[in-house]
């Protein structure tokens, strides 16, 4: 796999080519630190790399990797830990990893039983994603204007009041009470409902905007009612709205050893509450066709400078509809998380397509 890079701060020494020994040492340091959250010593690297060189030689190579910006040393006497650049090297070198059959079966089983109401589906997806990765799950639900019309129900409440229930092909449901200056009969309401459902099915917002004249041709007595309801459909589907954001498992930050500081966790949780931070995470993610990994400073936001964001787009009708992903510490099991996010995006796309059938 080749996760998309986003805005890394490039160290001038990065241009130096890593030889195979340095690559092997760097992989061991990153892998061990991900597992233990403890700085990795030259002795431990020498034992695991099996390069046939002494700890002193390894220590020299670690110093070079630190000078190049791939590693850091938290204390003079401590071992090394990866920098954002070190993690980037590790992620870019990852081979394709597939989820094991048990994990895939678990996800498939749960998705088969979740609610098909779009908001419930997105909320449950964020929770399940968090549970399976032990990081914070994030789902950006689609705005109505990205969906196509599927069905409308017009419910008679009073002679001058109706309930409009608008359903899109992606499962979004919008409800609005409409009040009219003149009375509306139940018969006229049923006729207008039939006309709208017959002529607007599967159309997107731009196509619906062109249908007013055509709709009016199909009614003699209900032209005003068609104009009113058609206008409300446009209003609801064409609203400038941010993608709705669903979070699952923010408590996972409390379980990470690098976030032992209460103040640090508080800052992250407050940043998540300010949804603009999450929207900025999207960046160029929505236009990508593969998994995107933004590591630490690549996010370009101080509030989450110690975090990584792994995301993928889910689709409907062959087009990107929204984004899902996880936010966690830079020290994460990238191979597993990337494969999990990729599978979730694929499965959610399949669920959304099934709603259309």
Tens digit of each residue's pLDDT (9 = 90 or more) over 233-264? 998 887 755 567 899 999 998 888 888 788 88
pLDDT for 2: 54
Reference 31, options 77, 78, 80; nearest CA is: 80
* Contacts (Cβ under 8 Å, ≥6 apart) of 44: 28, 32, 79
Report, as an integer, the average pLDDT of 87-99.
91
Does the pLDDT value for residue 83 go beyond 50? yes
Q: What is the pLDDT of residue 174?
A: 82
pLDDT(110) > 80: yes
What is the CATH number assigned to the segment(s) 12-92? 1.10.10.10
Q: Which two tokens stand for residue 315?
A: 């689709």
How high is the pLDDT of residue 10? 45
Every domain range in the chain assigned CATH 1.10.10.10:
12-92
- Which residues are registered as beta bridge partners of 40? 80
- Spatial separation of the C-alpha atoms in residues 272 and 106, rounded to whole Å: 28
What is the token pair recorded at 146? 């990205």
pLDDT in tens, 21-32: 999 999 999 999
Look up the pTM and report it: 0.76
Distance from the first to the final alpha carbon of the chain: 32
Provide the mean pLDDT of the chain.
87
Q: Does domain 101-142+243-356 have CATH number 3.30.450.40?
A: yes
Residue range(s) of every CATH 3.30.450.40 domain in the chain: 101-142+243-356
For residue 84, give the nearest of 73, 70, 94, 65 by alpha carbon: 70
**Both structure tokens of 142:** 């689609």
CB atoms within 10 A of CB 186: 12
More confident: 174 or 91: 91
Q: What is the pLDDT of residue 13?
A: 47
Strand partners, 44: none
- What the block records as the tokens of 3 is 């996760």
- Rounded to whole angstroms, the Cα distance separating 88 from 14 reads 11
CATH architecture for the domain at 145-237: 2-Layer Sandwich (3.30)
The answer to whether 192 and 225 are in contact (CB under 8 A) is yes
Q: What is the pLDDT of residue 259?
A: 84
| CATH 3.30.390.60 segments of the chain | 145-237
């Amino acid at each position: 796999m080749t996760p998309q890079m986003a805005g890394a701060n490039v160290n001038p020494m990065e241009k130096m080519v890593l030889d195979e020994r340095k690559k092997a040492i760097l992989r061991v340091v990153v892998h061990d630190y991900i597992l233990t959250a403890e700085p990795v010593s030259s002795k431990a690297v020498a034992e695991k790399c099996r390069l046939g060189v002494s700890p002193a030689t390894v220590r020299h190579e670690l110093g070079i990797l630190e000078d190049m910006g791939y590693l850091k040393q938290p204390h003079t006497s401590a071992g090394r830990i990866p920098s954002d650049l070190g993690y980037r090297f590790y992620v870019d070198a990852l081979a394709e990893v597939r989820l094991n059959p048990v994990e895939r079966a678990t996800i498939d089983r749960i998705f088969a039983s979740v609610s098909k109401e779009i908001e419930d589906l997105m909320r449950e997806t964020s929770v399940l994603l968090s549970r399976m990765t032990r990081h914070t799950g994030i789902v950006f639900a689609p705005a109505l204007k990205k969906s196509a019309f599927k069905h409308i129900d017009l419910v008679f409440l009073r002679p001058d009041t109706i309930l409009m229930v608008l359903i899109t092909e992606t499962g979004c449901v919008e409800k609005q009470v409409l009040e009219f200056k003149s009375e509306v009969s139940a018969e006229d309401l049923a006729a207008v409902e039939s006309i709208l459902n017959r002529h607007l099915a599967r159309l997107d917002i731009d196509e619906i905007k062109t249908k007013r004249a055509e709709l009016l041709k199909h009614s003699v007595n209900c032209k005003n009612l068609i104009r009113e309801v058609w206008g409300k459909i446009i209003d609801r589907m064409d609203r400038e709205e941010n993608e709705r954001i669903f979070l699952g498992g923010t408590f996972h930050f409390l379980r990470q050893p690098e976030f032992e500081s209460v103040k640090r966790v508080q800052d992250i949780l407050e940043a998540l509450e300010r949804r603009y931070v999450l929207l900025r995470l999207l960046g160029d993610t929505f236009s990508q066709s593969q998994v995107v990994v933004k590591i630490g400073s690549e996010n370009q936001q101080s509030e989450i400078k110690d975090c990584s964001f792994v995301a993928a787009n889910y689709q409907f009708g062959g087009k990107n509809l929204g984004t899902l992903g996880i936010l966690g510490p830079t020290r994460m099991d990238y191979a597993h998380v990337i494969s999990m996010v990729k599978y979730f995006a694929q499965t959610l796309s399949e669920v959304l397509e099934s709603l259309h059938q």
